[in-house]
């Protein structure tokens, strides 16, 4: 094919973040369409897209030229000051890679620019350039280059000297004078002078087009992109913009016209391309070098550790089968070159265990390795549970092993620091990820820069269907007629649409992967560019996950699991309270108490087993062994969940078990003839069809990927193998069908990296940015994410809904619908898909913040709407991810309720948590409460669970509480950290003083001894309101009233102590018992119960010593009250009666002017949203504005705004019980007394007199004195 006579050498892609608008795939496609023999990529200061560009260009038959437009500091790259010119101070330089040495040098330059030279931009300097010149080819640069700026300033000699320096450093054959022509007058003048320099120093000239976007018509879109970057609008005359619209990828013919007077400028682009011949090697692994003891190789040391571990696990004579399995695995590991990999993982896990950091038992395919089990990398016996090594490491498919390791979430970073210290901090880094501009985000960003109002933009964005989650604007146009009409009929919307279509899909920002860390054999900048986020301390790679793995670098997922922290803290509490040392490896797996608790389904707070559906399944299953728990955790997923009733019936002999083949019986006997695990497919294929385990793993993967072509080949091979081994063809067909059915649900379901996850606080995060412990929104409320896990490269499709939402996921990813969980590819037009009602969700959060109260469970916490599917269209093959959300069956991705996978990996951890709850409930619940100290809703639920278990939860106490929840006998004591306004420094002062000088006897004593610089009035008031001084024996109201006097006395004592003064009594009495002395004040009566409880809620976030509605518990049954927790079981239209008080009230008016209200009604179980329309509002208004208990009768409504109660009647409780409303009597006790004192005259004497009056008339009413200066 005849190629074009030009090569673009100055090209910016989307990875020139919010500056380049050319997406890599489209850029390469256009280069191919224009028949360019080669093309360069020169993004601003980075190589983010380098590997993807290199591979895409090669695939398209185009030579890739890697490069970057570097920023060169005017002085030292490490200097940061006004002399460096700030934002515009760095000069641009076009740098291209000629060979592998140049590639490595460019990596060094880019890395040092970020790590050492970042000042507004990542910068290098001349010294660095000279040091790393080998293998690079340099063009003099654009108008912002050092040469061009000197010419613009009229200094020809300086420009020539500069060009001469670069020519000398990089070599005469590798330095070109770059000229451009974008229709800019200044550029034309500079070009003429540049040609003079070229002639003077004998440098060749090369012509470039500084392309930032693909097409001639994209200039306006590029302006909008720059506005998105700078936060300006297109109407701003001072905004940053390019002065012409010539910055696109032009054809060779267009470039020939541009440089008609200097044709050599075009010819030389071909010469440059010929000089650039980078070949990258993707076939080698770069494992970190583990140093073995003298006399050992990696292989022999691994063998020794594994064989020692075998005897530790199985005894001195483990038997031939175990020896053979271990020998087989070791041989495969050695053959594939992964002995070092196992030693690296063993080492940091060994460190974690020695340091007391809880480590997970292993999950995923690594649990199938006996070597990993013997090394202590995993704690699940693969022999006992029939787990297969080939699932983890298939000798017939050479790829890096993939172990995801769980650590206690509060100590995960310690393990990463250990790895960095061991192998070198320059060899360990976190991995970068990128967020892209989705359809709705593009509309909102572009609408803003066009100056449209939020309301206008919001109206347009909402016409984009939410389904599929990652719907494109083009698809939205086709699927939403109102949107299409608006685009066609309104010029402003048409402009927005055209710009948004151009920018849609562009990379928008860089972030850091949630768990992935790369570990290298050499300094990382020998292999990958490095990046530094100025706001974060970590070293970060400049390549994302895909390129990292393609380059053969070791990627490890260090995952933080909160449950491991709970288990570790339980063990610490057991040691402190009972002197018991816990060995998690030695916990009995046949504990009767544990299985009795599981059978009774008392699993609230138990990892993986606390959902209502799981509890129901456990009641039916009546588990008797760990295998039962493993099976139930594995089955409790969309698809296999339907098999649970049959599984239970078979277990208890109520259903017949039939096996199609002896192999089925052999490998599914433990699961009663039902295929539950992927290993069963592999074992059956091996037994029936003679597959090697490697071949069986290939079959498993084919089923998991739903690769129809490969599945067809595997089917033929399986059937032929079965027949050859004596199985009838029909029987083999039936077994295949059973295996294929299992494949429909037996594998991870995954989402793409551009998926946005809804967070509980109303924000969104890219799926790769979600961290363990983050509160994510699920269809059942807020739950903490466990982690994001990569799920491999898979074929994905786009699911689109009628409301414009879309998500890109694997075809088998379960989506929540009216009829339950349905795989994305199986959705039909009649299905209603659950999607987030963002408006109602926002109102929920506002109400929660106003009330400080707990939120209701289920849909009252996450308002959902229903939208019909429009299409599911298969797209590309790309990296996919999943989030694990223990305790929830879903999360909200791009607004759509989707399922979280990875169900079967944690059965052992589930058993361990159940064991501790059954056997050591006080310590376990205390640890559980500590783990959720920042989550008020969870604390409330767990306190209720404690009470249901007969455990006492006592308020915090300055004399006995620790920082976290602690244990005293059968009582759980609140930790001081649970109290708002009591910071870490204040807690440390209180605990240190108590430990050194003994318990506090009075408030005066407390104030005299603690450091009042840290423990201030606000801290003490919060402690009083929380009940932390109750052990002193005085009413909280009295203590609060005496706070100022106690503080004053304490400050005097501390001041005197500091100045060396002491009274006669101080000399006789130890300091700890010598508080400031003052006359005892008359005891102030305790607050009424409702005020005391209100203060508790203010500083703790919940009630602890009671509940305002507790006194009405007896009438709940007589009124037939439905609690907020029970509402989830009520159907649409059901009539209910609620009892509660108003936690949040929003009054509004209808279009006709009638008043109505939206109410958050809080009861003892949570809260529910109530809509009070104008008619009932007429009589209800005064009651809604009070704190009196109310009875609300109404109907359940599952409308567009989620589940609410439509109130028909609202009354005070005493009215509902037959009494009359109780208006406040004249002269009733006011809520507070406020006294205004105007300064002037002798205000001090007036304040002294006022104080005497107040002291003479004590009471429970707070007094506020306002001094007007």
- The residue among 1204, 1241, 600 whose CA lies nearest residue 864 is 1204
Going by their DSSP bridges, the two strands 971-973 and 751-752 should be labelled as: unpaired
Residues 1057 and 1135 in one domain: no
The domain boundary, picked from 1044, 1074, 1100, lies at: 1100
pLDDT of residue 1243: 60
pLDDT at 1231: 47
End-to-end Cα separation, the chain, in angstroms:
89
What is the C-alpha separation between 509 and 537, in angstroms, rounded? 18
Same domain, 999 and 1122: no
C-alpha span between 1112 and 1121 (Å, rounded): 11
**pLDDT top residue among 902 and 142:** 142
Q: Please give the Cα distance from 427 to 344 (Å, whole number).
A: 13
Is residue 1073's pLDDT more than 60? no
Q: Are residues 1051 and 1143 in the same domain?
A: no
pLDDT, tens digit, for every residue of 282-339?
888 899 999 999 999 999 999 999 999 999 999 999 999 999 999 999 999 999 999 9
Given a contact cutoff of 8 angstroms between Cβ atoms, the answer to whether 41 and 66 are in contact is yes
Asked if residue 103 and residue 165 are part of one domain, the reply reads yes
Specify whether the CB–CB gap between 835 and 845 falls below 8 A: no
In the prediction, which pLDDT does 1250 show? 77
- 1008's tokens: 């005299």
Predicted pLDDT of residue 639? 64
862: left (phi over 0), alpha (psi -120 to 50) or beta: beta
Return the H-helix or E-strand segment holding 1136.
strand 1135-1149
Query: Any idea which of 261-275, 430-444, 467-481, 899-913 has the lowest mean pLDDT?
Result: 899-913
Task: Give kind and range of the element (H or E) at residue 823.
Answer: strand 820-823
Residue 596 belongs to a domain: no
1115 and 1073: one domain? no
Q: Look up residue 1250 and give its two tokens.
A: 């006022």
- At 643, phi and psi to the nearest 5? -85, -10
pTM of the model: 0.74
Within a domain: 450? no
Largest Cα separation within the chain, whole Å, is 112
Residue 1248 domain flag: yes
Same domain, 889 and 925: no
- Rg of the chain (C-alpha set): 35
- pLDDT > 80? residue 589: yes
1014 and 891 share one domain: no
* Residues 1083 and 1166 grouped into a single domain: no
Q: Is residue 160 domain-shared with residue 209, that is, in the same domain?
A: yes
Rounded to an integer, what is the distance from CA 940 to the centroid of its chain?
24
What integer pLDDT is reported at residue 1228 of this predicted model? 37
In DSSP notation, 777-790 reads: EETTEEEE--EEEE
Q: What is the pLDDT of residue 1143?
A: 84
The Cα 63–Cα 659 span in angstroms is 58
Tell me what pLDDT residue 903 has. Answer: 38
**Band of residue 1184 on the pLDDT scale cut at 50, 70, 90:** very high
Give per-residue pLDDT as tens, 1123-1168: 887 776 677 788 999 999 898 899 988 878 889 999 999 888 777 8
Q: For residue range 455-475, what is the model confidence (pLDDT) as tens digits? A: 788 889 888 876 565 688 998
Whichever domain contains 140, its CATH number is 3.20.20.140
Distance CA 864, CA 777 (A): 11
d(CA 309, CA 210): 62
**Is the confidence at residue 841, as pLDDT, over 60?**
no
Least reliable range by pLDDT among 252-261, 606-615, 989-998: 606-615
Q: Note every long-range contact of 450-459, with CB atoms under 8 Å and residues 24 or more positions apart, other chains counting.
A: 450/224, 450/233, 450/234, 450/492, 450/495, 450/496, 450/499, 451/233, 451/234, 451/235, 452/492, 452/496, 457/496
Q: What is the pLDDT of residue 562?
A: 87
For residue 1150, being part of any structural domain is answered with yes
110-124, 797-811, 977-991, 1047-1061: least confidently modelled range: 797-811
Residue 107 or 283, more confident: 107
3-state DSSP assignment of residue 1117? helix
What percent of the chain lies above the pLDDT cut of 90? 52
With residue 1207 as reference, give the H or E element that holds it.
strand 1202-1212
Contact between 72 and 93 under an 8 Å Cβ cutoff? The reply is yes
Task: Please check whether residue 446 is in contact with residue 499, taking contact to mean a CB–CB distance below 8 angstroms.
Answer: yes
Give percent helix, percent strand, percent coil of the chain, each to the nearest 5: 45, 20, 35
Report the domain count for the chain: 6
pLDDT at 1076 over 80: no
Q: What pLDDT score was predicted for residue 1233?
A: 66
Rounded to an integer, what distance in angstroms lies between the CA atom of residue 168 and that of residue 162? 10
Summarize the confidence of residues 884-889 as an average pLDDT: 54
Q: Which domain covers residue 882, as residue numbers?
A: 751-832+868-902
Select, from the ranges 62-76, 373-387, 873-887, 938-952, the one with the highest average predicted confidence (pLDDT).
62-76
Output the six-digit token pair for 586.
């030695």
Residue at 913 is within a domain: no
User: Is the pLDDT reported for residue 749 higher than 80?
Assistant: no
H runs (alpha helix) in 521-659: 545-550, 562-578, 592-599, 612-621, 626-635, 644-651
> Which domain-ending residue is among 1047, 1082, 1100?
1100
Residue 477's CB is within 10 A of a number of other CB atoms, namely 17
Q: Give me the percent of the chain exceeding a pLDDT of 70.
A: 86
CB 523 within 8 A of CB 781: no
Out of 275, 293, 310, a domain closes at: 275
Conformation bin of residue 748: beta by default, left when phi > 0, alpha when psi is -120 to 50:
beta
Q: Which of 523, 546, 46, 557 is nearest to 286 (CA)?
A: 523
Residues 821 and 938 in one domain: no
Which residues of 46-146 form beta strands (DSSP E)?
63-72, 91-97, 123-124, 136-139
> Coil, strand or helix: which one is 852?
coil
Confidence of residue 782 (pLDDT cuts 50, 70, 90): low
Annotate 929-953 with b (16+ C-beta within 10 A) or e (fewer). bbbbbebbbbbbbbbebbeeeebeb
Flag whether 207 is in a domain. yes
Q: Quote the DSSP letter at residue 48.
A: T
853 CB-near residues (< 8 Å, 6+ apart): 1097, 1143, 1144, 1160, 1162, 1167
Query: Which of 395, 401, 368, 393 has the alpha carbon at shortest distance from 383?
Result: 368
Task: Tell me how far apart the alpha carbons of residues 533 and 994 are, in angstroms, rounded to a whole number.
Answer: 43
In a domain, 757, yes or no: yes
- Inside any domain, residue 397: yes
Q: Is-contact 494 443, C-beta < 8 A?
A: no
Residues written for the chain: 1269
18 — phi, psi (to 5°)? Answer: 55, 25
Report the range of poorest mean pLDDT among 318-332, 828-842, 1047-1061, 1175-1189.
828-842
pLDDT digits over 184-242, tens only?
A: 999 999 999 999 999 999 999 999 999 999 999 899 999 999 999 888 988 898 888 89
pLDDT attached to residue 567: 94
Same domain as 195, residue 141: yes
One domain, residues 1206 and 1256: no
CB 366 within 8 A of CB 403: yes
């Amino acid at each position: 094919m005849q190629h074009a006579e030009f090569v673009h050498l100055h090209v910016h892609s989307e990875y020139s973040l919010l500056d380049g608008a050319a997406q890599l795939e489209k850029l390469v496609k256009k280069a191919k369409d224009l028949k360019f023999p080669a093309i360069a990529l020169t993004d601003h200061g980075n190589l983010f897209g380098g590997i993807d560009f290199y591979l895409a260009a090669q695939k398209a038959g185009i030579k890739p030229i890697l490069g970057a437009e570097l920023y060169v500091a005017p002085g030292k790259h490490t200097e940061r000051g006004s002399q460096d010119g700030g934002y515009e101070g760095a000069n641009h330089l076009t740098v291209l890679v000629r060979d592998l040495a140049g590639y490595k040098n460019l990596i060094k330059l880019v890395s040092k620019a970020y790590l050492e030279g970042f000042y507004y931009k990542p910068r290098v300097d001349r010294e660095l350039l000279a040091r790393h010149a080998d293998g690079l080819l340099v063009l003099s640069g654009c108008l912002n280059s050092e040469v061009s700026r000197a010419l613009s300033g009229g200094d020809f000699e300086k420009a020539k000297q500069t060009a001469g320096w670069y020519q000398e450093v990089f070599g005469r054959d590798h330095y070109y004078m770059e000229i451009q022509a974008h229709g800019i007058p200044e550029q034309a003048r500079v070009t003429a002078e540049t040609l003079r320099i070229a002639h003077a120093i004998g440098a060749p000239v090369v012509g470039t087009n500084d392309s930032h976007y693909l097409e001639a018509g994209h200039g306006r879109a590029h302006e909008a992109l720059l506005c998105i970057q700078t936060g300006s609008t297109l109407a701003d005359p001072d905004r940053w913009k390019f002065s012409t619209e010539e910055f696109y990828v032009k054809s060779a013919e267009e470039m020939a016209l541009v440089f008609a007077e200097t044709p050599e400028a075009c010819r030389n682009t071909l010469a440059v391309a010929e000089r650039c011949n980078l070949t990258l090697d993707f076939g080698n692994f770069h494992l970190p070098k583990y140093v073995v003891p003298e006399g050992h190789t990696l292989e022999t040391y691994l063998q020794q550790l594994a064989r020692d571990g075998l005897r530790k696990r199985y005894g001195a004579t483990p038997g031939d089968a175990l020896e053979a399995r271990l020998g087989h695995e070791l041989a495969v590991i050695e053959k594939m070159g992964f002995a070092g990999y196992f030693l690296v993982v063993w080492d940091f896990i060994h460190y974690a265990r020695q340091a007391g950091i809880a480590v997970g038992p292993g999950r995923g395919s690594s649990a199938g390795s006996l070597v990993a089990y013997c090394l202590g990398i995993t704690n699940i016996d693969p022999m006992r549970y029939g787990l297969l090594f080939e699932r983890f490491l298939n000798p017939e498919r050479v790829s890096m092993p993939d172990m995801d390791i769980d650590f206690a979430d509060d100590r995960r970073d310690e393990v990463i620091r250990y790895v960095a210290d061991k192998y070198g901090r320059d060899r360990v880094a976190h991995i970068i990820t990128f967020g892209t501009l989705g359809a709705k985000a593009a509309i909102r960003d572009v609408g803003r820069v066009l100056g449209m109002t939020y309301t206008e933009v919001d109206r347009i964005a909402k016409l984009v269907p939410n389904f599929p989650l990652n719907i494109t604007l083009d698809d939205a146009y086709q699927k939403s007629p109102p949107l299409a009409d608006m685009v066609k009929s309104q010029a402003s919307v048409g402009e927005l649409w055209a710009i948004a279509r151009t920018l849609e899909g562009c990379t928008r920002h860089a972030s850091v992967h949630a768990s992935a860390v790369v570990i290298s054999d050499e300094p990382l900048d020998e292999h990958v560019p490095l990046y530094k986020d100025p706001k974060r301390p970590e070293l970060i790679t400049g390549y994302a996950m895909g390129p990292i793995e393609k380059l053969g670098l070791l990627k490890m997922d260090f995952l933080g699991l909160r449950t491991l922290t709970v288990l570790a803290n339980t063990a610490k509490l057991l040691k402190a309270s009972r002197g018991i040392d816990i060995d998690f490896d030695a916990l009995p797996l046949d504990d009767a108490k544990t299985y009795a608790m599981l059978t009774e389904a008392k699993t609230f707070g138990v990892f993986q087993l606390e959902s209502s559906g799981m509890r129901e399944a456990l009641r039916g299953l009546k588990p008797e062994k760990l295998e039962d728990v493993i099976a139930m955790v594995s089955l409790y997923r969309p698809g296999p969940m339907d098999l649970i009733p049959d599984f239970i019936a078979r277990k208890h002999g109520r259903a017949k078990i039939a096996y199609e083949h002896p192999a089925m019986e052999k490998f599914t006997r433990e699961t009663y003839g039902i295929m539950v695990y992927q290993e069963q497919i592999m074992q059956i294929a091996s037994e029936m069809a003679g597959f090697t385990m490697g071949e069986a793993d290939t079959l498993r993967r084919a089923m998991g990927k739903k690769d129809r072509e490969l599945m067809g080949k595997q089917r033929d091979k399986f059937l032929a193998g079965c027949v050859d081994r004596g199985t009838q063809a029909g029987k083999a067909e039936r077994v295949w069908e059973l295996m294929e059915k299992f494949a429909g649900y037996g594998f991870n379901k995954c989402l793409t990296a551009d998926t946005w996850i809804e967070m509980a606080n109303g924000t969104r995060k890219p799926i790769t940015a979600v961290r363990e412990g983050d509160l994510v929104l699920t269809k059942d409320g807020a739950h903490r994410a466990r982690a994001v896990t990569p799920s491999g490269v898979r074929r994905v499709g786009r699911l689109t809904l009628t409301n414009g939402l879309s998500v890109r996921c694997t075809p088998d990813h379960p989506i929540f619908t009216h009829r339950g969980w349905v795989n994305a590819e199986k959705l039909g037009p009649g299905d209603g898909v659950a999607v987030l009602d963002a408006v109602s969700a926002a109102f929920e959060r506002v109400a929660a913040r106003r009330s400080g109260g707990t939120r209701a469970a289920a849909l009252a916490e996450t308002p959902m709407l229903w939208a019909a599917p429009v299409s599911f269209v298969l797209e590309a093959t790309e990296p996919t991810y999943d989030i694990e959300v223990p305790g929830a069956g879903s999360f909200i991705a791009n607004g759509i309720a989707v399922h979280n996978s990875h169900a079967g990996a944690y059965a052992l951890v589930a058993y361990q948590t159940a064991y501790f709850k059954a056997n050591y409930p006080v310590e376990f619940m205390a640890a559980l409460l500590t783990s959720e100290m920042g989550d008020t809703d969870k604390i409330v639920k767990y306190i209720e669970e404690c009470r249901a278990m007969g455990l006492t939860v006592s308020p915090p106490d300055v004399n006995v509480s620790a920082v976290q929840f602690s244990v005293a006998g059968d009582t759980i004591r609140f930790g001081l950290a649970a109290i708002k306004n009591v910071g870490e420094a204040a807690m440390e002062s209180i605990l240190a003083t108590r430990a050194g000088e003994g318990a506090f006897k009075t408030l005066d004593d407390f104030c005299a001894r603690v450091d009042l610089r840290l423990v201030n009035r606000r801290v003490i008031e919060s402690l009083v309101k929380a009940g932390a001084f109750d052990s002193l024996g005085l009413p909280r109201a009295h203590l609060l009233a005496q706070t100022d006097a106690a503080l004053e006395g304490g400050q005097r004592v501390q001041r005197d102590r500091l100045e060396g003064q002491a009274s006669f009594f101080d000399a006789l009495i130890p300091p700890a018992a010598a508080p400031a002395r003052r006359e005892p004040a008359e005891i102030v009566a305790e607050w009424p119960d409702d005020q005391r409880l209100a203060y508790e809620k203010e500083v703790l976030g919940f009630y602890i010593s009671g509940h305002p509605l507790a006194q009405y518990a007896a009438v709940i049954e007589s009124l037939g009250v439905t609690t907020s927790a029970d509402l989830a079981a009520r159907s649409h239209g059901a009539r209910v009666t609620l009892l509660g008080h108003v936690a949040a009230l929003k009054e509004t008016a209808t279009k006709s002017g009638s008043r109505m209200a939206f109410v958050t009604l809080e009861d003892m179980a949570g809260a529910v949203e109530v809509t009070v329309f104008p008619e009932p509002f007429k009589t209800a208004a005064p009651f809604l504005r009070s704190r009196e208990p109310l009875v609300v009768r109404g109907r359940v409504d599952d409308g567009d705004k989620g589940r609410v109660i439509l109130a028909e009647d609202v009354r005070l409780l005493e009215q509902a019980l037959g009494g009359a409303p109780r208006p406040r009597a004249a002269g009733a006790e006011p809520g507070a007394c406020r006294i205004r004192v105007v300064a002037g005259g002798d205000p001090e004497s007036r304040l002294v007199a006022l104080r005497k009056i107040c002291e003479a008339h004590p009471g429970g009413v707070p007094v506020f004195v306002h001094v007007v200066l």
